[in-house]
Each structure stands twice: as structure tokens, then as C-alpha cells.
Chains A and B, each alone.
With several copies, the nearest count.
Chain A
């Protein structure tokens, strides 16, 4: 049981540290076990150092910086245990333009061999997608508005 945990931990830790730096274009992050000998008696700590800053624990970061660290963690788990497709629901919520673009770029790159379906209100994310679907609701019933282009979408929602 402990061995199985260590294998997963070491692999996800390595992925996470690489993906964080790749996603942010700099900085560094690390996964740390509170109790290395007996992992099941402690927690898992995420530390991150955005470019040009000091390393700190997750709760000292800003809203957007926390989101980027969390996303890197999610991608690191997915890289260890890959699935043929992923559904992401508004993961770009707290991000400024630059960071939202970095996340959209990473999705786009990975979508070469894995299918990604991302729900988003951000113009920068919709711009990178191969296909955009609109959803609207009339009298309480949802319907899909097939393949739309960005200008049509501006009507549905002033794209963030």
C-alpha cells in the first residue's frame, strides 16, 4: 500500500514541477509530503514560486496564482493516469488575460492526442478552440446551437 502510494506520489510530483514551470513560463513549484516516512499520517503540501517572487505555500498566493498552481496539479494527475478525453468547466475563471491564454495554449497543445471539451466564457479561450458550441435556454429548456464562430458568440454572451 505504501509502495503503491510512493510510486504515484513520485510520478505526480515530477509531472507537477515540470508542468507548473511550463504553464507559467517560469517560476517553480514543489509537492511536499508532511510526513515522508508515514505519508498516511500527514497531508500533501503544494508550494509555488511565481516568477520573480519567493516560494510560499498555496494560501499566501493571490487568487489567480492559486488557480494556476491548482491547474498544474490537475494536469499533473492527468498526465500520470491519462484518459482519452477531458471535460473542463470554467477553469479559467480567476485568471487575467495572460494566464488564461497560457492555459488555453496548454489545452490546445494537449488536444493533439487527447480530446478536450472546455466550458468557458473567456474570449481568449474560445479563440483557441477548434470548434465552439453555444448553449441557450428558452422557456426553461436548454438547446445546443451547433458550430458557431466567435462573432456569433458575442451575441449570446459578451464574451469575457
Chain B
């Protein structure tokens, strides 16, 4: 299995619909500071780690929605996974649903091969192909392992066990 394509729509600084095709092997992504490189890794984490504490740097999920245009009220990311000629498309979408007492309210939608699914279906597919937030090393994680204490470091192994 490998990650064949990432599709971003209004996700952070990706204000246009963008499709990024990937190939097996070793792909490098480069570009100036602030151009949007880490936002690609955040987009993959957005789909792979719906319950993960490593979740997106933004804090509130609605901060993931592209802010450059006024009337944009949703963001969407699809991952296309290919496994021996079979294709699985995992999509996550967040849509603003402001309430009088909570302007940051939102709805979260999950899709498997473009059919609405529940969070638990989603998590099931991910764990059966052993894909998780552990597949992503975010910017700064390398130094975090050094700076964390011995006990939090042991907890990394607890989570795996």
C-alpha cells in the first residue's frame, strides 16, 4: 500500500483546490519559509489522526479553514491510498456551524470512497492497514523527544503496547 494522492480544498493556506500526486519511494518537499510545506503534513494528519493529540497546530478546528476569502465555511482533505490496484479514498471535512453562544461551532464529516461514514468506521480502516498519526513526524518532534522527561518518553511505548 502507498499514499497515491492528497487532495486539499480550502485547507489552511491552500485556498484553491489542489491535488498532489505521490509515487512510491522517496519524495522530498521543499520551499521557502511560510510557503505551506508543514500544512501538507497537517492535512495528512487531519485525515489520519482524527482522535490524535498531535492534532493540528491550529487549536480550534475551524482555524483550519482557509481564511483568505470571506465566504469560505468549510475545508476538506482526501487521501487516496492504493493497495495492489485497489483504491481507498478517505475524506474528512469540517464545516462551520456557528451557534449564538459558540461562534466556533462546527460539524465534522467522514467519507470512505465518497460515501458518508462514521468516525469509528474511519478509525477501523486506518488501524486495519496500520496507518496512524505515528506515521507522521511533525516539525520539531525530533527535539521534543529529547526535551520531554523520561516518563513521558516511556508513555510513547505504553501507547503502542
Contact = CB atoms under 8 A, between A and B. Distances in A.
Direct A–B touching in the complex (beta carbon < 8 Å)?
yes
Given A70-B142, A70-B146, A77 B160 contact: yes
B85 interface: no
What is the interface of chain A mostly: helix, strand, loop, or mixed?
Answer: mixed
Contact of A12 (B130, B149, B157): B157
Interface stretch (B30-38, B90-98, B104-112, B113-121): B30-38
Interface string A49-91: 0100110001111111111111101100110111111111111
A33 B158 CA distance: 13
B143 A67 contact: yes
B26 A129 contact: yes
B52 interface: no
Contacts of B38: 62-63, 89, 119
B145 interface: yes
A34 to B, nearest CB: 6
B39 A142 contact: yes
Contacts of A37: none
A64 B59 CA distance: 19
Interface residues of A, number: 89
Nearest to A53: B34
B68 A135 contact: no
Contact of A73 (B2, B23, B145): B145
B65 interface: no
A95 B33 contact: yes
Interface in B125-161: 129-132, 134-143, 145-146, 149-154, 156-158, 160-161
27 contacts: A43-B152, A44-B153, A54-B67, A58-B146, A59-B146, A63-B33, A63-B140, A64-B32, A65-B33, A84-B2, A89-B138, A115-B24, A115-B27, A118-B29, A119-B28, A119-B38, A121-B30, A125-B28, A133-B30, A134-B30, A134-B31, A139-B68, A140-B68, A141-B68, A143-B16, A156-B30, A156-B31
Interface of A: 1, 4-5, 7-9, 12, 33-34, 39-40, 42-46, 50, 53-54, 58-71, 73-74, 77-78, 80-91, 93-96, 98-99, 107-108, 111-112, 115-121, 125-126, 128-137, 139-145, 153, 156-157, 159
